[in-house]
Structure 1
Amino acid sequence: MLDDLDAVLEEEGQAKPDAPGRRARGRGGRSAVAFFLTLVLLGLLAGGGWLAYTKVKGIFTDEDYPGPGGAEAIVEIKSGQSATEIGNTLYQRKVVASADAFVAAAKDNTRSKNIQAGWYRLRVEMRASDALDLMLDPKSRWVTKVTLPEGLTYQQTFQKLSEATRIPVAEFREAAKDPVALGLDESWFTRSDGKKVNRSDIEGFLYPATYELSPKADATGVLKTIIANFNAEMEQLEFAPTVRKARGGITPYEALIVASIAQAEALKDEDMPKVSRVIYNRAYGEFDCHCLGLDSTVNYWLRITGKKTKASEDLTQSELHNPNNPYNTHDKPGLPPGPIGNPGRAALKGAMSPTGNFPYYFFISVDTAGTMAYGKTGADHQRNTELACRNGIPLC
């Protein structure tokens, strides 16, 4: 087409002018043809340019939806995912038109690094920047949050988990039968005192904390999350190596039992190391019967066997000295068979690092604020008990 146009223009330029007075012939026709051909050529060039633009625009701009989006899309973002990985996840769920559009939006938003792992309620065909904004809104995260306080038994823990997740308690009981399969190291189930360990007992390993659980998780998944947190906390505390090094042969499992008892007996964090030391003194020291003499262990047995727990003053002698109760620490020496609850950080630290040079064998709360008094002898303990009675503790 360009060659044809050049030929026409050359012909016009070489044509001889007509004689003066004569009317020019054909010049207007040839000019009109050239003008027409020029318009056609420009039209073709314009059309070709637009076609080329539509074909290459994706090279220079990231494909994106105009928004605002349609049907709901539930998307899981995993811990440690990069912006590209998140973009690919959103693209696969048809939330964004391209992963690159999401990456570009993330680069333009300094808050994008705050995206948390979890499940999100988004929409299909969203503008990438809108999807990012929604993921940075805490209200869009779809999580099940549950707080497990310190000292809960496994039964109480399962009940709270069931209420939060709507998973039946029976499913948690079934999933808990093999703690090792849930991620617990089997080395935990060892003792130095010769007592048998129940390897199916999950008590003590359900670390108290606030958990954000996947709404898609089953009972096994929930318990794996909790056990993983227990493992992380134990590693951070250096619980096992500290116990093995400092406690003269006592195993981490025995220290975990002590922590659970300290959690049940002491109200203040400052008393956890002292109560732990008293327990060690009685179980492994020079105490005559090597028995702990604790009502909390008796109550634990009542609870897990489906009976009501009682205040110390209401426990009968038959309950305190029941020979069929493996958690009877009034008559049976040493530590009970296992933990009596799930201790928190303060109790764990107290059990792994109990107060040194603390030659006491008795403790008791002497007021309603939880102030503890300690005694070396039975006579000391009697005086502390009388003080507790004067302060309104119903023991006398």
Structure 2
Amino acid sequence: MSTKKMISIAAIVVVSGLIIYGFVLISQIFSNNTKFTEDEVYVHVPTVATYAQVLDSVSPYVTNLDRFEMVANKMSYPANVKSGRFLLKKGMNSYELVKAMRYNVPVKLAFNNQERIENLAGRVGSQIEADSASLMHSFKDSIFLKENGFTEENVLTMFIPNTYEVYWNTSADKFRDKMIKEYRNFWNKERVADAQKQGLSPTEATILASIVHKESVKKDERPRIAAVYLNRLRLGMPLQADPTVIYAKKKKDNDFNQIIKRVFYNDLFLNSPYNTYKVTGLPPGPIAMPDITALEAVLKPEKNNFIYFCASVDRFGYHEFAATLAEHNVNAKKYSDWINAQGVKR
């Protein structure tokens, strides 16, 4: 065999080998490299995470980690690790997996009906990287509070219950700053003007709305209840709202997990700025996070001359309203007799 033939054969062998190697390499890169049974999973990469930490995070979902690493190195991923929340889909190949680890997917963060700022911090901290402690520190930052006209007691009024799109790796301060922007968007000129018509600031309107929210779950009744409280404020009467007494009791006991179904006569004398039987005007902060319907009820209350109300025996969940004390006493006795018959002790 001539030298030329030998060189030609060798060249063919080498080229064939390269083609086969390339085919195998490409098939490895573009073949399925996932091992989870769900349609999709999310991987969370903490802020300032290392490449090694990323590998630990993805390894439970990747069939061949060496193949993933090979592609990651080719795509310069180890030197460009991103923190955040990343979506991996069943059947992804190594190239798609690495590409997915570069696209931070936002979180649909939701909160409502939080009784205290501590509860809110816990709720938010369960949905993003920032923990409840760092969120509490940010929410109660004295400089932030002063600059935006809040106090530690009323800062909960800043948070408008809704669903928000944020990145999982959003810091506590950035989340707080987003919430103050949402607050300003909510309190537009029209809503501020509506609050002023009732003689209230946005913070005061929210505090009153928190009481309305706790008084009734019936959204269609809330404008009437809001009107009663506004009537009392205008007359200089104490609000005498049972939910504020319940809040005061929980705060005094430092136990917000207790369930209190009934307010007794002796409870009305509890010394607390939140007890509106003893303190005239609004409490220093909200007793819960009111929903939008409660806020709108305060901003656009029903026009009436009612001063009193109590729970209805005939329409469960609703209330009976009265313009005079004599009328109210009749309604109140009816309810008291009913609840005593039920044996409610607490």
Q: Smaller-chain TM-score range? A: 0.5 to 0.7
User: CA shift at 1:177, angstroms?
Assistant: 1.0
Distance 1:148 1:73 in 2: 23
Q: 1:304-332: per-residue Cα shift (whole Å, max 9, x none)? A: 45135553535461x42123x11121122
Partner residue, 2:307: 361
Q: 1:144-196: per-residue Cα shift (whole Å, max 9, x none)? A: 444322353222212222333464432222111138738x973x55xxxxxxx
Which structure is higher in RCO with an 8 Å CA cutoff and minimum separation 6? 2
| Alpha-carbon RMSD | 4.3
Q: 1:333-377: per-residue Cα shift (whole Å, max 9, x none)? A: 111122222211111111111112x11111222157411211112
Aligned residue among 317, 320, 329 for 1:370: 317
User: CA shift at 1:73, angstroms?
Assistant: 10
Distance 1:171 1:226 in 2: 15
Q: What is the percent sequence identity of the aligned residues?
A: 21
Is the contact between residue 73 and residue 124 of structure 1 (CA under 8 Å) also seen in structure 2? no
Partner residue, 1:344: 291
Give the stretch that moved more between structures: 257-266 or 151-160. 151-160
Kindly indicate whether residue 328 of structure 2 is the aligned counterpart of residue 381 of structure 1: yes
Partner residue, 2:239: 292
Q: 1:231-280: per-residue Cα shift (whole Å, max 9, x none)? A: 32223x83212222x22x43232222211111111211112211111111
Residue correspondence of structure 1 range 14-29 to structure 2 within 5 A: none
Q: Which amino acid aligns with 1:257?
A: I
Inter-CA distance 381–372: structure 2 relative to 1 (3 Å threshold): same
Kindly indicate whether residue 183 of structure 2 is the aligned counterpart of residue 240 of structure 1: no
Distance 1:263 1:217 in 2: 30
Q: Secondary structure at the match of 1:269?
A: coil
Aligned residue among 116, 121, 134 for 1:153: 116
Q: Secondary structure at the match of 1:164?
A: coil
Q: Which amino acid aligns with 2:208?
A: V
Distance 1:69 1:302 in 2: 59
Q: Secondary structure at the match of 2:320?
A: strand
Distance 2:293 2:275 in 1: 26
Partner residue, 1:20: none
Equivalent pairs, count: 271
Q: Which amino acid aligns with 2:190?
A: E
User: What runs of 5+ residues in structure 1 fail to find an aligned partner?
Assistant: 1-65, 76-93, 98-117, 190-197
Partner residue, 1:311: 260
Q: Secondary structure at the match of 1:210?
A: strand
Q: 1:182-212: per-residue Cα shift (whole Å, max 9, x none)? A: 8x973x55xxxxxxxx366312222212334
- Find runs of 4+ consecutive structure 1 residues off by over 6 angstroms: 68-75, 94-97, 122-125
TM-score, with length taken from structure 2? 0.63
Inter-CA distance 312–332: structure 2 relative to 1 (3 Å threshold): farther
User: What runs of 5+ residues in structure 2 fail to find an aligned partner?
Assistant: 1-28, 35-41, 46-71, 76-83
Kindly indicate whether residue 207 of structure 2 is the aligned counterpart of residue 257 of structure 1: yes
Is the contact between residue 244 and residue 275 of structure 2 (CA under 8 Å) also seen in structure 1? yes
Kindly indicate whether residue 157 of structure 2 is the aligned counterpart of residue 210 of structure 1: no
